[in-house]
């Protein structure tokens, strides 16, 4: 076979193969087109089915909603004439009842009505039943009930019935004025109770300040008592009956007469505090060597209450100071004195000794009490002694023996100086040197002594009894003996110059000077 023929055969084979491939491709394309068309037809069928189902569902929902609306609306219409669930009228459950049914219940309730009245019992702080009021006791009935119930129904929002069912909300109503009773019967009933009889009542006691004790003062609380305000009690019980209540507490409604002064009363509290301040005072006196304590045991006797105002009896304080001064002061009192020669004499007091400033000390003590002070002190003095106690002269003093015209100067128990002197003239009226115990008034140099008929300069002047004192007498040449009887001084103690100078160095204001005659 020639070469050309072979190539023609190959070419023919290739052509045949292409033709077969093209046919296969065309067939595949047609198949795909058929499948797509089939799917398109199937989709149209499925969409129609879905739309149909939706229409059915929508219809069903519409029907259901219509039924629900009818049911809700029908129930709402029902509750236009019936009370909603959880409705309570005068504490009675009236759920789902109409006005007539509810009125019947309220009428039955009225027939069995009771009111328990509680109040203070005989035991302090305890409440007890004072009595029970029953319907027949007071002619208790219901009146105009159904009309009032119809009004309540008209005010009720029946569209909220589902809220009442699901929400659990309670609707509570009190039909004011729906009950009637006879006031006179009520008052007669109450008067028959023991608690309402005056003989069985105890009046309240006001809070007050206790008597003084070691702890001071304290407030005793008020006691409440069982005394009723009858008008208030009747009013409170009447209101409870009118409201159809089954219990009322006369304590809670404030029907008892209360104490007018209670423990927390500001004025009472302040008064107690003030009194405790006063009795907290503790004054320890060194009163002329004697310890005197002024504390609550003494002070409380000076305290009183005028109403709720504490009062300190200032006159009693002044009297206390005066009494103590009279007992312990030595000024102005006679005293025993043993002379240098051993003779015991009773001498009148001149201007020497302990003398309390009564007015000044009274005022100071009063102020210390008001302040509640705690301290140690001496009283105020207008005159002081050398020593404390009844023997207040001490061991340093001037002893003037007028009978023997001899003077002794003691210093710390020892005689440090002696001297003769000339005292007041015994034959001339008003010139005698008086005996007694005195304190030196003051001392000064170069004084001029003046009288009705004399004017005398002296170097040392030491007065101890008014215008009577010790001084030098340079005009005299002799001292002692009996000179004083007919040629004495105007009352002073005339001394030699050197002795007067020495005495002047020892003495000071208040220095004891003892003058005596045997």
Half-sphere exposure of 484 (CA within 13 A, CB side): 25
What lies within 8 Å, CB to CB, of 214 at 6+ separation is none
Q: How far apart are CA 500 and CA 34, in angstroms?
A: 169
- Residue of 95, 129, 135 whose CA lies nearest to 111: 135
Burial letters 45-79, b for 16+ CB under 10 A, else e: eeeeeeeeeeeeeeeeeeeeeeeeeeeeeeeeeeb
Transcribe 331-359 into DSSP letters. TT--EEEE-TTS-EEEE-B-S-S-EE-HH
Catalytic choice (82, 406, 471, 490): 471
> Helix (H, G, I), strand (E, B), or coil: what is residue 211?
coil
Tell me, yes or no, if 406 is annotated catalytic. Answer: no
Contact indicator for 227, 203 with CB cutoff of 8 Å: yes
What lies within 8 Å, CB to CB, of 339 at 6+ separation is 345, 399, 401, 516
Catalytic choice (94, 255, 272, 492): 492
Helix (H) or strand (E) holding 33: helix 3-78
Q: Strand 127-134 vs strand 282-287: parallel, antiparallel, or unpaired?
A: unpaired
Sheet with 282-287, side-by-side order of all strands: 290-294, 282-287, 374-377
- Positive or negative, the CA dihedral 238, 244, 245, 247 is positive
What lies within 8 Å, CB to CB, of 19 at 6+ separation is none
Please give the span between the terminal C-alpha atoms of the chain, in angstroms, as a whole number. Answer: 208
Tell me, yes or no, if 471 is annotated catalytic. Answer: yes
> Helix (H, G, I), strand (E, B), or coil: what is residue 413?
coil
Q: How far apart are CA 367 and CA 281, in angstroms?
A: 11
Q: Where are the alpha helices (DSSP H) in 160-302?
A: 161-167, 183-191, 230-242, 266-279, 296-299
* Residue 418, CA distances (Å) to 22, 474, 478, 517 in order: 179, 18, 15, 17
Q: Which two tokens mark 308?
A: 């709720």
Catalogue the active-site residues: 471, 492
């Amino acid at each position: 076979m020639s070469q050309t023929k072979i190539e023609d055969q190959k070419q023919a084979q290739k052509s045949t193969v292409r033709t077969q491939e093209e046919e296969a491709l065309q067939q595949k394309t047609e198949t795909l087109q058929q499948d797509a068309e089939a799917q398109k037809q199937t989709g149209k069928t499925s969409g129609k089915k879905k739309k149909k189902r939706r229409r059915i569902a929508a219809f069903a929902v519409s029907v259901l909603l219509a039924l629900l609306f009818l049911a809700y609306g029908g129930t709402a219409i029902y509750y236009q004439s019936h009370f909603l669930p959880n409705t309570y009228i005068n504490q009675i459950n009236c759920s789902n009842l109409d006005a007539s049914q509810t009125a019947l219940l309220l009428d039955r309730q009225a027939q069995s009505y009771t009111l328990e009245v509680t109040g203070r019992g005989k035991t302090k702080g305890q409440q007890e039943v004072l009595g029970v009021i029953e319907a027949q006791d007071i002619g208790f009935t219901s009146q105009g009930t159904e009309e009032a119930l119809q009004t309540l129904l008209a005010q009720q929002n029946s569209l909220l019935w589902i809220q009442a069912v699901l929400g659990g909300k309670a609707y509570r109503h009190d039909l004011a004025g729906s009950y009637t009773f006879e006031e006179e019967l009520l008052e007669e009933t109450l008067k028959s109770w023991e608690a309402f009889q005056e003989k069985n009542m105890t009046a309240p006691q006001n809070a007050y300040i206790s008597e003084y004790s070691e702890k001071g003062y304290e407030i005793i609380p008020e006691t409440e008592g069982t005394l009723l305000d009858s008008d208030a009690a009747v009013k409170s019980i009447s209101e409870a009956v009118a409201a159809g209540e089954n219990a009322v507490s006369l304590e809670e409604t404030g029907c008892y007469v209360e104490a007018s002064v209670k423990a927390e009363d500001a004025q009472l509290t302040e008064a107690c505090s003030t009194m405790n301040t006063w009795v907290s005072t503790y004054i320890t006196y060194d009163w002329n060597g004697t310890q005197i304590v002024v504390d609550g045991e003494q002070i409380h006797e000076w305290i009183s209450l005028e109403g709720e105002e504490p009062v300190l009896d200032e006159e009693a304080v002044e009297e206390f100071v005066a009494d103590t001064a009279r007992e312990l002061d030595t000024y102005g009192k006679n005293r025993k004195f043993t002379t240098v020669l051993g003779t015991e004499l009773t001498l009148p007091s001149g201007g020497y000794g302990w003398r309390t400033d009564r007015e000044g000390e009274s005022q100071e003590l009063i102020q210390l009490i008001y302040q509640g002070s705690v301290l140690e002190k001496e009283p105020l003095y207008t005159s002081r002694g050398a020593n404390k106690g009844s023997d207040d002269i001490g061991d340093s003093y001037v002893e003037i023996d007028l009978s023997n015209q001899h003077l002794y100067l003691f210093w710390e128990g020892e005689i440090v100086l002696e001297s003769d002197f000339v005292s007041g003239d015994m034959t001339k009226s008003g010139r005698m040197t008086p005996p007694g115990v005195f304190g030196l008034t003051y001392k000064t140099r170069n004084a001029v002594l003046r009288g009705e008929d004399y004017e005398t300069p002296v170097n040392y002047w030491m007065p101890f009894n008014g215008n009577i004192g010790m001084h030098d007498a340079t005009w005299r040449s002799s001292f002692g003996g009996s000179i004083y009887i007919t040629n004495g001084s105007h009352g002073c103690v005339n001394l030699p110059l050197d002795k007067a100078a020495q005495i002047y160095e020892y003495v000071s204001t208040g220095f004891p000077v003892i003058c005596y005659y045997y």
